[in-house]
């Protein structure tokens, strides 16, 4: 057992952090304020900002680009990876790098490591046809285009994927898409050219072979971004979250990734590391919020004392320190489990961090807000947006409750089996 | 002891609720959506909406107007009260009425019972000169103008009022105002014509006689609404929260309410009932959120069951039921204490509800959000705005921590005094 | 609405409190220490202590006796009530009286108001035959004997009464009892002469008519107190909690209270007020713990300050103040609901306080323990025993979870019914 | 970074666990019941049980003995270590071994790894004279005698060591001890022959050189174990917690360990790893409680379902899983920090686990109790004792609040320093 990061992780972490501190942090407040000012004036708050493009170019030039791609992807696209020599990172090595990116709203985009592009790129890399790779993966890896993921639906509880109502019906050599999706992140970006759409192809197949994933050009007739959604009041430009309708969208059948009925298999492969990335970033976001809270606590004075010396503030800050440290170790351990035992061997660990980290982040950020007084809820600090981001992740990859259910099922299974054995019954009862 | 409301409270509560159910609720979603659409298009989201004006006229016509004014104000302005015969309500009778208003964002404005106008009207009624009453109180009671309260400052911890940096310097027969205030609620409304400004007049006076309250015409030269602030992403039109600068604002000295140095005394009188109003409304808001949660829990289905039957949802809903019921009784009891023993006799009780009710409301609303999935964080439900409203009230009338400190001081005082007596020392140590 | 207690409640509360402060509190520590010393020496820690008997006689002489019997029982046993003129108290009037009793472990016994005798006396009063009343109720009301309640079983989850395995089989003019019960409170007292035993009479009857309640003389052949149980290490002499076996206990069939199959009906009637009594006492116990915490916080000094001024202690004490005050109002309101609308009209309220008050008490007591340092966990303060008492009440009248389930079911029922109506289905799904 | 245990840790962990499962677990319930039965009969519950002595001999024979001694102690006493070749374990390697021991109350004693003997042995090894080592360390390492630690005092807040009132006055070539200590663990064992006593030698020295540690033969005149204390009702035989008076105890001055005034220095060295040991064991205890909860949840049935499928039980179990896993990683990381950066480099981490782990354990054990119903609070399950043990550790090595204060101070120091620098003041204010 050893808690020291590998030299490669330490180096990349330090370089990403330096880029953040020197290039992103000094301008981020202004970038965000400009977006809000444009929105307030009714101007296009989604327009590409050349300053962000410059930062992206700089990050790429420094090799801090596409760091998300995991070890093992050493194929023809390796040269696209920022990691020297083109070898992907283990989840464990990527974790502290992603943590640093999580300190900033803009950073993941700047390093081409933002959701949902990362997950979409992984899907195309692992399951895409050569043509799909040429058409969509290459420009995504180059950051020339962006993408969205069309999964969640407004009309049904999407935490249960079998509820899905959208369709991808095969009709001869075409696939016909009809459905309404929302919380499609990335759909607001002007460069969002492609979506990966999940829908029912064969309602009579068994529940793990009913659905397909389809590559959808966003400018295809019948595809419409109906509106951009706010999350706790935040629009999260320049990526945002869209509501997208698909009406009789006809595409060649080869747009189905890996062929019809493989969506569940692909989703499983996509979700493992993707879910860990969110948690990694939330550690960084929580750490940033705690730093702001510490800064505020030592500089604001009330009743003759810095806030840190009033009431229970110091204890609350100490508890936040504990919560972040425990959560970070938890995420690192889950990453190590994923690397060492694969997705199937890390099911509980991945569910655990998903259930635990977003609410931890909410609590830490909420404390930081409280210590900032009214200002903490307003536009002058990144805390309201941080809270909205963390809060939405208690739902975005499945609600906390679903993850807790997975943990419970895994943990109870052997006990239920033994109980059933003793009772001479099937174990179905408890393990659901 | 008797928990049944008085006939008058029961009647007004029922009538307000009926107005809400029949007149406000059916259109509120559309009104809010229109405001957001105007804002998104860069149009004036603050413009007066004639539909709201109509509702206000209807409420007034039904006698559901200015219900907030407490018993005892039976003077010349009594006829302005909606309560039949012009007798103000006790806090205990107003509580369930205000609870109903809290179910809706628009309702307090529609019934002319919204903050900060209510508190400002009380100040003018109790401490204002006849001229101030004629000029500002009458049109406020009539709903012809609106007002703001200029107290919190961006640069200092305003939870400690002695930190205040803004000035109201007496210069001959003028008072000169300089300062920057924010979270000045109501400042966004086109009809906001007057502010009550609190600032330092004599920094050398003892700490309870340093400050003055000044009536400020908002269109006076030197007064500028610098910007409207968002609270967790919400602008809360049509009232909103402003940042206001006052630069060399010269006013006749008779604009100081009650004369120089009386701000603390006035603030004490203002804050008692005013603080209870917020809590009353939060009970209604929480109840509304719980109703939405119950509705959602019984209509959304995942994994073959309504959400109410999944995991710990039912227990969480039951705990929300308990939390609201306890908080309601707590607020009612504080109102009764205020009525029966006055502000000084209800110091702990008022601090208790201020410390307890907003965070209770946050928790209940957060549960409702979680049960609504992604939609709960978005614009299609009133939950994101409800959360922002409840969360900001953990800061708005002083942060939770200040109220807890008051409770602690009151509770510890006799113990500390005895301990000191036994030790032959002064009690200063513990009671702070 | 009025929060002032009735004159009668105020008078009895004051007199009980005076008795407690002057007669019980000064000797209670010594009484408890003596019991523990006897136990440590292997002597009989259950023996009747003449000092307690004296206190009981004094309480009776002052009319502070059997105060628990609710209004309405004005029959022949009225003269046994301590309440002047023999009229029982409403639940609302009894609540503050019981709160005072809860401050002390001994007090309920001294005032003849301890569980389970109170519930047993109510059952006999309401459902007992004249012979049962003469034989058991009279001496219980006089305090000449004590009783136990034989309901919970070690081998099954007794939170679900239909799990019950013990039997009360009618055999001609006899009823034959076989079963093992535990947590039979009161069974340790030398004067415990009678038990009320609940068991299955007709397993084929519908689930609300299967069980009977039987009056069991504790010295009857086949009845054996197997052992006295500790609860978190506490034996709670002189009443205690027993494990009791009943082996082929044959009694005349008239020992069945109200006739065979009526146990559920009786239990419902018994549980309403009985459950409220526990909560009332827990308010008093919590208040006592808070007082000890306040005393300690102002007298112990660490790092140069009284504990009350260190870290978050003051905030925690303030939160305890809030929690107790909310819980007290909650209990009072439930009592009022019971009085005004009957058991059926107060189902949710009674379940709410049962689910909420014991865990509130645990938290307050735990805080008091923490502030007392190691001593708080030890024998020199009443806090370890207080914690054990409060903790066991999270289970004793049904676990918290069962009460939360009741609240959820009541609250969800109308929503589920509407959802079913809309869906054209039965409402069975949600309401369980 | 690597989360796999070292081969040596894995091997010892497996062997300790096997010993536990095969030798200790099958008899522990009976051993505990026998102790309680003896206590109930007034017999000596502290007498040495030959079955425990046999288990100790067996553990020693298998080399599972004195595993607690950290790496680096390779001197003459190395042969006493159970670890092959006599090399002590790193904290990181000892952690999973100690976790296993924590599953059982008896195991630490059986493996000669119980507090306070471990800490006392470390003190003697590092700071003791050769004579002290020969007289006390050797028999302690051999398990022939036991020891106690005489530090906490009943009359003062011992969380602040400068409060200490007991004295160790040097009088020529003697040291004279006077004081009253309590929570002296181990003092109940018949073999407890030596105590390490901490007291004031020179009240005028600076606060870190006032105190001495003195080796006290427990049978020396003037030393008296006044009573054995219960902790939440548990006596914790055969070690227990004593209250010990020392009255004019005169010892040769060479009984002062390391010479007068060195107690603080020694305590610092003692507390680092010692504190970690408690946390390691609590992880094991929590894991054991969770296992019991899972077993119960799948075998008890209420309302037609196993408890695991009722209400929020499954979610609560999943949260317990998360809490234990996070805490374990936290402890392992703190152990690694201690090994890698020394006590001074791990101050925050050690304080973090001390503040976090005992309350985590309390919550998990409390959940297990709740799922066991009344039985969970009683003598038939190890849960009441487990709760008492975990609860007392929220106080035993300093209350949670002191550890939170340390974390806060470390974390705030650089912020406070910067704030002070900017303000041109000293940093004293915030960092306390």
* CB-based contact, D316 to chain B, within 8 Å: yes
* CB-based contact, D406 to chain C, within 8 Å: no
Q: Is the peptide bond before C46 cis (omega within 30 degrees of 0)?
A: no
**Which of A3, A6, A355 has its CB closest to that of D318?**
A355
Chain A: nearest CA to C298, how far in angstroms?
16
Cβ within 8 Å, pair A307-B157: yes
User: Strands A223-229 and C174-185: what pairing?
Assistant: unpaired
Please give the radius of gyration of chain B, using alpha carbons only, rounded to the nearest integer: 22
Enumerate the residues of chain C whose CB falls inside 8 A of the CB of residue D233. Answer: 230, 232-234, 384-385, 388
Residues 12-31 of B with CB under 8 A from A: none
CATH for the C7-145 domain, from 1.20.200.10, 1.10.540.10, 3.30.420.10, 3.10.450.100 = 1.10.540.10
What does the pLDDT average to over B39-53?
Answer: 91
From C386, which residue of chain D is nearest by alpha-carbon distance? Answer: D232
What does the pLDDT average to over A343-351?
Answer: 94
CA distance D104 to D28: 8
Chain C: nearest CA to B17, how far in angstroms?
19
C contact test, residue of A311, A367, A370, A419 with most C CBs within 10 A = A311
Enumerate the residues of chain D whose CB falls inside 8 A of the CB of residue C312. Answer: 401
Residue C286 burial (CB < 10 Å; 0-12/13-18/19+)?
buried
Return the percentage of chain B with pLDDT > 90, whole number.
84
Cβ within 8 Å, pair A3-D1: yes
CA distance D239 to D146: 9
Position C69 scores a pLDDT of 80
**Which of C318, C321, C326 has its CB closest to that of B327?**
C326
ipTM over 0.90: yes
CATH topology of domain B147-259: Butyryl-CoA Dehydrogenase, subunit A; domain 2 (2.40.110)
Provide, for chain D, the percentages of residues in helix, strand and coil under a 3-state DSSP scheme, each rounded to the nearest 5: 55, 15, 30
Cβ within 8 Å, pair D157-C405: no
* CB-based contact, D319 to chain B, within 8 Å: no
- Beta bridge mates, B252: B174
Position D274 scores a pLDDT of 67
Band of pLDDT at residue A432, cut at 50, 70 and 90: very low
Chain B: nearest CA to A211, how far in angstroms?
17
Residue A34 is given by DSSP the state: H
CA distance A19 to A24: 7
CB B190 within 8 A of CB B198: no
- Give the max Cα distance, chain D: 77
Which chains sit next to C, with 3 or more Cβ pairs under 8 A?
Answer: A, B, D
What does the pLDDT average to over A37-58?
Answer: 93
Alpha carbon distances (Å) from D51 to A382, B76, D25, D190, D257: 64, 92, 13, 15, 35
Cβ within 8 Å, pair B315-D314: no
* Mean pLDDT for chain A overall: 92
CA distance C416 to C422: 10
Cβ within 8 Å, pair A355-D322: yes
Position C75 scores a pLDDT of 64
* CB-based contact, D315 to chain C, within 8 Å: no
Position B431 scores a pLDDT of 43
Count chain A–chain C contacts defined by CB atoms under 8 A: 15
pLDDT in single tens digits along all 432 residues of chain C: 999 999 999 999 999 999 999 999 999 999 999 999 998 888 899 999 999 999 999 999 999 999 988 766 656 675 565 555 556 889 999 999 999 999 999 999 999 999 999 999 999 998 999 999 999 999 999 999 999 999 999 999 888 888 899 999 999 999 999 999 999 999 999 999 999 999 999 999 998 999 999 999 999 999 999 999 999 999 999 999 999 999 999 999 999 999 999 999 998 876 666 668 899 999 999 999 999 999 999 999 999 999 999 999 999 999 999 999 999 999 999 999 999 999 899 999 999 999 999 999 999 999 999 999 999 999 999 999 999 999 999 999 899 999 999 999 999 999 999 999 988 754 444 544
* CB-based contact, B5 to chain C, within 8 Å: yes
Band of pLDDT at residue B42, cut at 50, 70 and 90: confident
Cβ within 8 Å, pair B404-C314: yes
**Which of A311, A314, A316 has its CB closest to that of C314?**
A311
Domain B147-259 and domain B264-419 have a common topology: no
Position C42 scores a pLDDT of 82
Task: Please measure the distance between the N-terminal and C-terminal CA atoms of chain C and give it in whole angstroms.
Answer: 36
* CB-based contact, B428 to chain A, within 8 Å: no
Alpha-carbon torsion, ordered C307, C312, C313, C314, to 10 deg: 100
Among A134, A196, A193, A203, which Cα is nearest to A170's? A203
Position B158 scores a pLDDT of 83
Enumerate the residues of chain D whose CB falls inside 8 A of the CB of residue A318. Answer: 352, 355, 403-405, 407-408, 411
CB C192 within 8 A of CB C218: yes
Residue B32 burial (CB count, 10 A): 16
CATH number of A147-258: 2.40.110.10
**Residue keyed to tokens 């730093």:** A291
Residues 379-398 of A with CB under 8 A from D: none
From B354, which residue of chain C is nearest by alpha-carbon distance? Answer: C322
Residue range B256-310, pLDDT digits in tens: 999 999 999 998 876 666 668 899 999 999 999 999 999 999 999 999 999 999 9
Position C272 scores a pLDDT of 62
* CB-based contact, A329 to chain D, within 8 Å: yes
Band of pLDDT at residue A397, cut at 50, 70 and 90: confident
**Which of D299, D329, D408 has its CB closest to that of A315?**
D408
* Mean pLDDT for chain B overall: 92
Residue D351 burial (CB count, 10 A): 26
Chain B: nearest CA to D318, how far in angstroms?
11
Cβ within 8 Å, pair D430-A306: yes
Domain boundaries A264-419, CATH class: mainly alpha
Chain A: nearest CA to C88, how far in angstroms?
47
- Beta bridge mates, C303: none
* CB-based contact, B314 to chain D, within 8 Å: yes
Enumerate the residues of chain B whose CB falls inside 8 A of the CB of residue C327. Answer: 326
- Domain spans in chain A, listed from the N-terminal domain onward: 7-144, 147-258, 264-419
Enumerate the residues of chain D whose CB falls inside 8 A of the CB of residue B315. Answer: 311-312
Residue range A202-220, pLDDT digits in tens: 999 998 999 999 999 999 9
Residue range A276-329, pLDDT digits in tens: 889 999 999 999 999 999 999 999 999 999 999 999 999 999 999 999 999 999
Position D72 scores a pLDDT of 65
Superfamily of domain A7-144: Acyl-CoA dehydrogenase/oxidase, N-terminal domain (1.10.540.10)
Q: Is the pLDDT of residue B201 over 80?
A: yes
Per-residue burial over C264-274, b = 16 or more CB atoms within 10 Å of its CB, e = otherwise: bebbebbbbbb
Q: Is the peptide bond before D285 cis (omega within 30 degrees of 0)?
A: no
* CB-based contact, C248 to chain A, within 8 Å: no
Q: Is the pLDDT of residue B432 over 90?
A: no
CB A245 within 8 A of CB A324: no
HEC profile of A294-323: HHHHHHCEECCEEHHHCCCHHHHHHHHHHH
CB A36 within 8 A of CB A119: no
**Which of D311, D314, D316 has its CB closest to that of B314?**
D311
From D290, which residue of chain A is nearest by alpha-carbon distance? Answer: A411
Residue range A66-97, pLDDT digits in tens: 998 876 665 667 556 555 555 688 999 999 99
Chain A: nearest CA to B16, how far in angstroms?
29
Band of pLDDT at residue B75, cut at 50, 70 and 90: low
Cβ within 8 Å, pair C408-B329: no
3-state class (DSSP) for residue B67: coil
Cβ within 8 Å, pair A302-B234: no
* pLDDT-flagged residues of chain D (< 50): 426-429, 431-432
Which chains sit next to A, with 3 or more Cβ pairs under 8 A?
Answer: B, C, D
Enumerate the residues of chain B whose CB falls inside 8 A of the CB of residue D316. Answer: 312
């Amino acid at each position: 057992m050893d808690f020291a990061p590998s030299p490669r992780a330490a180096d990349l972490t330090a370089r990403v952090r330096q880029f953040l501190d020197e290039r992103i942090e000094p301008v981020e407040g202004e970038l965000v304020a400009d977006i809000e000012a444009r929105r307030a004036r009714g101007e296009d708050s989604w327009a590409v900002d050349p300053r962000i493009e410059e930062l992206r170019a700089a990050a790429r030039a420094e090799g801090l680009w596409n760091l998300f791609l995991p070890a093992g992807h050493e194929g023809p696209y390796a040269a696209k990876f920022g990691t020297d020599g083109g070898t992907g990172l283990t989840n464990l090595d990527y974790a502290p790098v992603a943590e640093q990116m999580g300190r900033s709203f803009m950073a993941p985009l700047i390093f081409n490591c933002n959701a949902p592009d990362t997950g979409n790129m992984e899907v195309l890399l692992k399951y895409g046809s050569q043509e799909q790779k040429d058409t969509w993966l290459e420009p995504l890896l180059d950051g020339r285009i962006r993408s969205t993921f069309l999964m969640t639906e407004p009309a049904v509880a999407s935490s249960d994927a079998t509820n899905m109502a959208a369709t991808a019906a095969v009709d001869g050599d075409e696939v016909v898409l009809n459905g309404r999706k929302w919380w499609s992140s990335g759909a607001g970006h002007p460069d969002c050219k492609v979506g990966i759409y999940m829908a029912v192809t064969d309602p009579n197949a068994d529940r793990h072979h009913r659905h397909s994933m389809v590559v959808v050009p966003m400018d295809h007739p019948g595809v419409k971004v109906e509106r951009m959604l706010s999350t706790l009041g935040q629009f999260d430009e320049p990526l945002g979250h869209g509501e997208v309708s698909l009406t009789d969208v006809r595409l060649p059948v080869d747009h189905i990734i890996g062929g019809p009925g493989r969506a569940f298999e692909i989703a499983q492969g996509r979700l493992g590391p993707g879910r860990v990335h969110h948690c990694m970033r939330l550690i960084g976001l929580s750490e940033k919020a705690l730093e702001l809270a510490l800064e505020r606590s030592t500089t604001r004075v009330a009743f003759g004392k810095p806030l840190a010396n009033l009431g229970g503030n110091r204890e609350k800050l100490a508890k936040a320190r504990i919560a972040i440290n425990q959560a970070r170790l938890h995420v690192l351990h889950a990453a190590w489990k994923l690397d060492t035992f694969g997705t199937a061997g890390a099911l509980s660990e991945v569910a655990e961090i998903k259930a635990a980290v977003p609410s931890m982040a909410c609590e830490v950020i909420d404390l930081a807000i409280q210590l900032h007084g009214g200002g903490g809820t307003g536009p002058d600090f990144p805390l309201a947006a941080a809270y909205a981001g963390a809060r939405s992740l208690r739902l975005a990859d499945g609600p906390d409750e679903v993850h807790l259910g997975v943990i419970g099922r895994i943990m109870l299974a052997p006990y239920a089996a033994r109980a059933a054995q003793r009772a001479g019954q099937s174990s179905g009862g408890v393990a659901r």
